[in-house]
Chain A
Amino acid sequence: MKIVVCLKQVPDMESKFKIIDEKKIDESQIAFKINDFDNYAVEAALQLKEKLGGEVVIVSAGPARAQKDVRQAFAMGADWGIQIDDPAVEAGDNYVIAEALQKAIASIGDVELVLTGVQAEDDQASVTGVMMAHLMDAPHVTNVVKLEVNGKDLTVNRELAGGKNEVINLSIPAVLAIQSGINEPRYPTLPGIMKAKKKRLDVKKAADFGASAAAKTEFIKMFIPVSEHKAEIIQGDPKTAAATLVNKLKNEAKVL
C-alpha cells in the first residue's frame, strides 16, 4: 500500500512566544519539533506498511529547518519524502498549503491513502486535510481512532463527543485525520537514525508541481489576549465584607 503522511513542523509549545509587529513569532526564541498529532499518523502508516507492505512517503511544507523532523519520521521507518520549501506557500493560508500538498502527492502517483494528524498544535485549524480531500475528490474522515484495510475498502471508527464512536466504510484513495491515542508512536531507533540521513528527501517549490493557489483568507494580525478577568478579595469582618460585596454586585457589576 502506498501511503502518504503529511507532516508539519511546529514550535515546541513550551517555548516562550514573542510576537513581532503583530505579524509573526520571533523564531530565535523557539525550538521546533514534529506536530505531535502527526506522530500518530506516521505510526498508523508504518503499522499498515508492516502488515500490508508498500511504502510510506512523508510530505511536508515548511522551511529548511523542517527537514530535521521529516528525517525524524524517516528514523521511525518512513521510506522517503518531499519537502515543499517555498516562501510563497509558507506565507499562504491553509488552502494554499493544502493545494501544494495535494499537488505534491499527485506527483508521487498511485497514492492510496493520505494520513494527517487530527490538527496542528500551533494553529489548530484542522482544515488542511479536509481541503486536500476536496481537491483530490477523495473521501475524508476526521478523528479516526481505529483503521482497518480490506483490499480497497476501509473501515474506520470516528471518535464522537463523550467517547462514542461511529463506524464508517469508505474506499481508497482516501484522506484520514488520525486522532491521538489510536496507537503509541514508536521512538526513532539509533539504526533508524543512521539510515534516516541517507534516505531520499526531494526539496521542491510549489511551481515544480504546478501548484499556484491563491489564499482564500486574509491574515490580519496575531496577538496574545490580555485577560480581563479580575479577582478581588474583599477584606474586613464578615458583616462589612458582605455589605461591600452586595454594594459591588449592585453598583459595579449591576447584576442585582
Chain B
Amino acid sequence: METQFISERNLKFMLYEVFDAESLLRYPYFSEHSRETIDMMLETAMKIGKERLRPHYEEMDRNPPRYDGKTVKVHPMVRSFMKESGDGGWISIFAPFEQGGQQMPLLAGFLPTFIFNAANYSASVYPGLSTGAAHLISSFGTEELRKAYIPKLYSGEWQGTMALTEPQAGSSLADITTTATPTDDGSYLIRGQKIFISAGDHDCAENVIHLLLGRIQGAPAGLKGLSLFLVPKNRIDGGGKLVANDVTTAGIYHKMGYRGAPITQLAFGDGDDCRGFLVGEPNRGLSYMLQMMNEARLSVGFAATAIASAAYYSALGYADERPQGRPITSKDPQSPQIPIIQHADVKRMLLFQRAVIEGSLSLLMQCTKYADLEIVCTGVEKEKYKLLLDLLTPVAKTYPSETGILSVSQALQCLGGYGYCDDFPVEQYYRDMRIHPIHEGTTGIQSLTLLGRNVTMKNGKAFQLFLAEAETAMEDAETIPELASFAGELRRAVETLKTVTNSLIGLAIKGNIDLFLADATLYMEMFGILAVAWQWLLQATVISKALAKGTAGVDSTFYGGKMYAFRYFFGYELPRIEGLARRLMNADGLTVEMPGELFRD
C-alpha cells in the first residue's frame, strides 16, 4: 500500500504561510501554544496515523462490525485507540484548560484528526464523536452533568454520539417523535427509535452517551418543540454504579463503505425505564445541536478532503511506476513504454485531484481560523467572524464531499482496471468517500441552508462580508503582475455570483419561494467553486511573494507544483460557474412543475 496519505509540507504551508497560525498564538487564550508544540503535535499525529491506524485500514473494511443480538462487536483496535486518544489529549483538544482540555486553536487542532481521517477514516470517527458530545455537554449542560459525563468521554472510556435521525425523520428533523416525559426526580422518561447512529453501541466502550433530540410531552410541533437530552446507555445509580438504562440496540446497517464503524438502530425506553437528562432549556434543543452539527460539518469536510488526499497519493504512486503506452507522437512500437504520469490526460486527472484537495483544505482551514478569531475577538469583530463561519460552513462541508467523490473517482481512473479491484485501496476510498454528501446534513439540506438562510441572514451581511474578504484577496493579488489576470477572472466570477444571487433573491421577494430554492444545490456548487478559487488565489499570492524573495531545493518543487494546481483550478474549474449561472438565471421552474407521476414510463 502506498505509504504516503497526506502532504505534511502542505499542512505546514497552509498553517504558517497562508493562515499565519502564529498570529493566533499571540492572543492570550492560545498563548500557551507555540509553533514548536504544534509541529510536535503534527509529528506525533503522523506517527499514530502511520503506525496505529493505517495498518488496520483494509482489515476493518473486510471485517466490519457484527451484531450478535445483544451488542456490536467492533475491531479490537478501537479500544486501544480510544484509550490512546483519551490519554493523548486528542479527544479534549479544543476544550479549555480548566476543563481538562488542551485549548488548541481549531486551525491547528483539526489537523491531527485530518491526518487520522486519511490514515483510516472508520477508526478516526470514534474519538471525534466523543469530542462533539462532550463539547455539547460542556456548553449547555448543568455542572452535575458535566462532572458526571465529560471526564469519561475525554478519557476515551465512554463513547459519545449524536442521536437525531428517526425512521420517519432524517433530513426533516421537524418530524422527530421521540418523547420525553418529566419525572419527579427531574429526569425524563425517554421513548422512541433512532436510526443511523454512528458508533451508537460497541464493545470497545464501557458506556455510550447519546446526545439526543426529543420532544417533551406537550411541546409545540415542529423544530421549535425539540429539546436536547443526554441519554446514557448505562446510567449512574445513586451509589455511583452503572446500571442498564433501557437503551436497546435493535441492529446495525450493512454499509457500502466506512465499514469499520457501526451505524446502529437504537430503541429507547421499550421497557419504560430509559432516563434522559435535559441539556439546556426545554424546546431549544435544535439550536444547541446546531453547535455540534456545525463542528461536525467541518469535520465531514476535513474527512472528505483527507480521503481524497489518500486516494491521490495511491494514484500518484501508481502513475509514477506503471509503464503503459508511448508518447502520442511516437510511432515506434518497439520503443519502451513510458510511465503513465507522462501522459497529459493522466496529469490532468492528478492535477484535478490536487486542485480539489488543496483548495478544499484551504477553505476548511479558513473556516477554522474564523472560528478561532470568533473565540478571541470581541464586539463587531467577533460578530464578523461568526457570520463568515456561519455562511461558509455548509460550503466547506459540501464542496469537499461532492467534489471529493469526483476526485477519488479520478484517482481510481488513474489505476485503470486495477483501480476497480481490491488489490489496491482506491476502490475502498471510493466507497468510504460516498457517505460524506449524506451524513451531518445532506447536500440538499446544506444548499437550502446556504441560499435560503445564510446568504440573506441579517440583510445579507454575511454575504457582504464574504465578498469583502474576496475583494481583499483580489486586490492583494492584483499587486503581483503574474496574478493580475487571475484576480480579474475571480472578479468576473464574483460579479456573476452577485448577479445570480440578486436574481434568485428577486424570486423570493416576489413570493416565488419554490423557484427561489429549486436549484439551491446548483447555487451551492457555484458558490463552492468560487470560494475555492478565492482560496487558491490566496495561496498563489503567498507563493508568488515567497518566490519573489528566492527559494531553492524542496520549496521550488513544492511551490512549482502548487502553481500548476492553482492554474488548473482557474483554467478548468472556475469556468464551470458560467454554465451553472446560466441555469440558475433560468426561472422556468422545470423541476418544480414536473408532476411525480411523469417519472414513470
Residues of A that sit less than 8 Å from B by CB: 14, 28-29, 33, 68, 71-72, 75, 187-191, 193-194, 196-197
- Residues in B whose Cβ lies below 8 Å from that of A197: 34, 36-37
Does B39 have its Cβ within 8 Å of any Cβ on chain A?
yes
Q: Are A190 and B90 in contact (CB under 8 A)?
A: yes
Q: Are B554 and A193 in contact (CB under 8 A)?
A: no
Closest 6 CB pairs of A and B: A190-B89, A189-B88, A28-B553, A190-B102, A193-B40, A188-B44
- Residues in A whose Cβ lies below 8 Å from that of B173: none
Q: Are B36 and A68 in contact (CB under 8 A)?
A: yes
Q: Would you give 9 A-B contacts (Cβ < 8 Å), ordered by A?
A: A29-B553, A29-B554, A68-B39, A71-B36, A75-B40, A188-B44, A189-B88, A194-B32, A196-B37
Knowing A189-B88, A191-B102 are in contact, say whether A72-B40 is a contact too (CB < 8 A).
Answer: yes
Q: Are A189 and B89 in contact (CB under 8 A)?
A: yes
Q: Taking the nearest CB of chain A, how far is it from the CB of B116, in angstroms?
A: 12
Q: What separation, in Å, do the CA atoms of A75 and B3 have in the docked complex?
A: 26
Q: What separation, in Å, do the CA atoms of A130 and B461 have in the docked complex?
A: 71
Q: What separation, in Å, do the CA atoms of A71 and B40 have in the docked complex?
A: 9
Does B508 have its Cβ within 8 Å of any Cβ on chain A?
no
Does B93 have its Cβ within 8 Å of any Cβ on chain A?
yes
- Residues in A whose Cβ lies below 8 Å from that of B88: 187-190
Does B383 have its Cβ within 8 Å of any Cβ on chain A?
no
Q: What separation, in Å, do the CA atoms of A71 and B34 have in the docked complex?
A: 13
Sample of 14 more A-B contacts, CB < 8 Å, known A29-B554, A72-B43, A197-B36: A28-B552, A28-B554, A29-B553, A187-B88, A188-B40, A189-B88, A190-B88, A190-B90, A190-B93, A190-B102, A194-B32, A194-B102, A196-B37, A197-B37
Does B478 have its Cβ within 8 Å of any Cβ on chain A?
no
Bits for B15-34, please: 1 = Cβ < 8 Å to A, else 0.
Answer: 00000000000000000111
Q: Are B40 and A187 in contact (CB under 8 A)?
A: no
- Residues in A whose Cβ lies below 8 Å from that of B102: 190-191, 194
Q: Taking the nearest CB of chain A, how far is it from the CB of B94, in angstroms?
A: 11
Q: What separation, in Å, do the CA atoms of A33 and B84 have in the docked complex?
A: 22
- Residues in A whose Cβ lies below 8 Å from that of B36: 68, 71, 197
- Residues in B whose Cβ lies below 8 Å from that of A196: 37, 40
- Residues in A whose Cβ lies below 8 Å from that of B104: 190
Q: Is the interface of A mostly helix, strand, loop or mixed?
A: helix
Q: Taking the nearest CB of chain B, how far is it from the CB of A171, in angstroms?
A: 35
Q: Are A187 and B39 in contact (CB under 8 A)?
A: no
Q: Are B48 and A187 in contact (CB under 8 A)?
A: yes
Q: What separation, in Å, do the CA atoms of A188 and B37 have in the docked complex?
A: 11
Q: Are B44 and A194 in contact (CB under 8 A)?
A: no
Q: Taking the nearest CB of chain B, how far is it from the CB of A38, in angstroms?
A: 14
Q: Taking the nearest CB of chain B, how far is it from the CB of A22, in angstroms?
A: 20
- Residues in B whose Cβ lies below 8 Å from that of A75: 40, 44
Q: What separation, in Å, do the CA atoms of A79 and B522 have in the docked complex?
A: 57
Does B87 have its Cβ within 8 Å of any Cβ on chain A?
yes
Q: What separation, in Å, do the CA atoms of A194 and B89 have in the docked complex?
A: 11
Most B CB within 10 A of own CB, among A33, A189, A196:
A189
> Which residues from 474 to 516 on chain B have a C-beta closer than 8 Å to any C-beta of chain A?
none
- Residues in B whose Cβ lies below 8 Å from that of A33: 43
Cβ-neighbour of A187 out of B3, B34, B44, B554 (below 8 A): B44
Q: Are A194 and B39 in contact (CB under 8 A)?
A: no
Residue of B nearest to A26 (CB): B553
- Residues in B whose Cβ lies below 8 Å from that of A29: 553-554
- Residues in A whose Cβ lies below 8 Å from that of B553: 28-29
Most A CB within 10 A of own CB, among B3, B89, B93:
B89
Bits for B79-109, please: 1 = Cβ < 8 Å to A, else 0.
Answer: 0000010011110010000000010100000
Q: Taking the nearest CB of chain B, how far is it from the CB of A90, in angstroms?
A: 22
Does B47 have its Cβ within 8 Å of any Cβ on chain A?
yes
Q: Are A193 and B48 in contact (CB under 8 A)?
A: no
Q: Taking the nearest CB of chain A, how far is it from the CB of B97, in angstroms?
A: 9
Residue of B nearest to A39 (CB): B47
Q: What separation, in Å, do the CA atoms of A96 and B48 have in the docked complex?
A: 35
> Which residues from 30 to 62 on chain B have a C-beta closer than 8 Å to any C-beta of chain A?
32-34, 36-37, 39-41, 43-44, 47-48
- Residues in B whose Cβ lies below 8 Å from that of A187: 44, 47-48, 84, 88
- Residues in A whose Cβ lies below 8 Å from that of B87: 189
Q: What separation, in Å, do the CA atoms of A33 and B40 have in the docked complex?
A: 11
Residue of A nearest to B45 (CB): A187
Knowing A28-B553, A68-B39, A187-B84 are in contact, say whether A193-B32 is a contact too (CB < 8 A).
Answer: no
Q: What separation, in Å, do the CA atoms of A191 and B43 have in the docked complex?
A: 15
Residue of A nearest to B92 (CB): A190
Q: Taking the nearest CB of chain B, how far is it from the CB of A48, in angstroms?
A: 20
Q: Taking the nearest CB of chain A, how far is it from the CB of B348, in angstroms?
A: 26
Q: Taking the nearest CB of chain B, how far is it from the CB of A60, in angstroms?
A: 16
Residue of A nearest to B52 (CB): A187
Q: What separation, in Å, do the CA atoms of A190 and B40 have in the docked complex?
A: 9
Q: Taking the nearest CB of chain A, how far is it from the CB of B252, in angstroms?
A: 31
- Residues in A whose Cβ lies below 8 Å from that of B39: 68
- Residues in A whose Cβ lies below 8 Å from that of B37: 193-194, 196-197
Q: What separation, in Å, do the CA atoms of A161 and B554 have in the docked complex?
A: 42
Q: What separation, in Å, do the CA atoms of A189 and B90 have in the docked complex?
A: 8
Most B CB within 10 A of own CB, among A28, A68, A193:
A193
Q: Taking the nearest CB of chain A, how far is it from the CB of B191, in angstroms?
A: 40
Residue of A nearest to B100 (CB): A191
Q: What separation, in Å, do the CA atoms of A33 and B47 have in the docked complex?
A: 11
Q: Taking the nearest CB of chain B, how far is it from the CB of A183, in angstroms?
A: 14
Q: Are B41 and A190 in contact (CB under 8 A)?
A: yes
Q: What separation, in Å, do the CA atoms of A189 and B37 have in the docked complex?
A: 11
Q: What separation, in Å, do the CA atoms of A28 and B551 have in the docked complex?
A: 11
Residue of B nearest to A31 (CB): B8
Q: Taking the nearest CB of chain B, how far is it from the CB of A12, in angstroms?
A: 11
Q: Are A193 and B84 in contact (CB under 8 A)?
A: no
Q: What separation, in Å, do the CA atoms of A197 and B553 have in the docked complex?
A: 30
> Which residues from 216 to 250 on chain B have a C-beta closer than 8 Å to any C-beta of chain A?
none
> Which residues from 244 to 298 on chain B have a C-beta closer than 8 Å to any C-beta of chain A?
none
Q: What separation, in Å, do the CA atoms of A190 and B3 have in the docked complex?
A: 25
Q: What separation, in Å, do the CA atoms of A33 and B90 have in the docked complex?
A: 22
Q: Taking the nearest CB of chain A, how far is it from the CB of B300, in angstroms?
A: 23
